[in-house]
Amino acid sequence: MKYHKLVENAGRPQGFWGKMMIKSMNKGHSELTDWALVHLEIKRNYNALDIGCGGGKTVSKLCKRIGNGKVFGIDYSELCVEKSKKLNKNNIMCGKASILQSSVSSLPFEDNKFDVITAVETYYFWPDKLNDLKEVYRVLKSGGKLLLVFEMVKSEEEPHKWDKVEKSLGIEAVSKDGIADILLHAGYQNIRTYSKSSTGWLCVTAEKE
């Protein structure tokens, strides 16, 4: 029952079990995020965006690496926005962070705003992946980079590893070739994939021309 309730709240956390899921994600995704961020250059004056910020842990990590820049986080879950604001209270008070309720399909930002954009374990839930990637492309600066981070990855060795989660949530795990192909079709260049063989983790960086 606990697992079922947690999984139900993976996409858009709400209520008691949503709070439990946010807490679980902040803890469970931390090491994954640290590993992925190694593959992304972040300068102290950068403007950054975390899409699907959840409980705000990635926003917090980005704030530690950015000096006079700013980190924005968006999530379409009202509860996630609330929890992310709480975790990043000090960063928000000093003007280093801002958390907004929004969908990836219609980002509330002007063109060419961000140096880096991250999305940790949220891409599966994007409603229109090709067009959503194009929307992300719009708000990236020329030369800016997108970092997509995945735990749910299809492999030839374990083709059915994520079947239960996929069926429960109505989502699909990604493949290395598949994510690289859709990024290419969305207009990105310099697409690079990185895998951690001991875990099956995958992260992908892609650049705006």
CA atoms lying within 13 Å on the CB side of residue 12: 9
Q: Tens of pLDDT along 83-93?
A: 999 999 999 99
Q: Which domains does the chain have, with CATH numbers?
A: 30-207 (3.40.50.150)
pLDDT at position 175, please? 93
Q: Tens of pLDDT along 2-32?
A: 444 444 445 455 454 344 454 455 555 789 9
pLDDT at position 12, please? 52
Angstrom distance (rounded) from CA 183 to CA 162: 23
> Based on C-alpha coordinates, what's the Rg of the chain?
16
> What would the two tokens of residue 138 be?
């719009």
The model carries a pTM of 0.88
> What would the two tokens of residue 44 be?
């102290």
pLDDT at position 24, please? 53
Q: Tens of pLDDT along 28-70?
A: 578 999 999 999 999 999 999 999 998 899 999 999 999 899 9
Residue by residue, DSSP assigns the chain as -HHHHHHHTSSS--HHHHHHHHHHHHHHTHHHHHHHHTTS---TT-EEEEES-TTSHHHHHHHHH-SSSEEEEEES-HHHHHHHHHHTHHHHHTTSEEEEE--TTS-SS-TT-EEEEEEES-GGG-SSHHHHHHHHHHHEEEEEEEEEEES-B--SSSTTTTHHHHHHHT---B-HHHHHHHHHHTT-EEEEEEEETTTTEEEEEEE--
Checking if the pLDDT of 188 tops 70, the result is yes
